Amino acid sequence: MSLETTAGTLALLMALMGPAHAQSTGSTSGTGSDQMSGRHSMQGTITSLDQKKGWVHLKTHEGTLILRVPPESIRNAKKGDPLTVNLALKDNGPAKPDKR
């Protein structure tokens, strides 16, 4: 079964080493598409998933993505399914200072 998931807003956090992690930010209200940049689609194969919590491990040609998506979006998915994920970046401004 071929699945395609399009998350309105995915914040992509990429580490220099190890797998990339992406987390859904939920509702897209107040985030116009003009604020999004770096749009990219990645295709891969689901290597593991937790349908109750919304976690998906997606093996791609570039490496493994570990994604957190709305659980209902993967309710029919299973290990071995092909999956396309559409990603976009959003600049949230400067980091807040550490309060230590």
pLDDT tens digits for range 3-58: 433 333 233 323 222 233 333 344 343 445 567 888 889 999 999 999 999 999 99
Q: What CA–CA distance (Å, rounded) separates 44 from 35? A: 27
For the entire predicted model, the pTM comes to: 0.59
b/e sequence 37-61, b meaning 16+ C-beta within 10 Å: eeeeebebebeebeeeebebbbeee
Pairing relation of β-strands 3-6 and 82-90?
parallel
CA 90 to chain centre: 13
Q: What is the pLDDT of residue 93?
A: 87
Full set of structural domains in the chain with CATH: 3-25+38-90 (2.40.50)
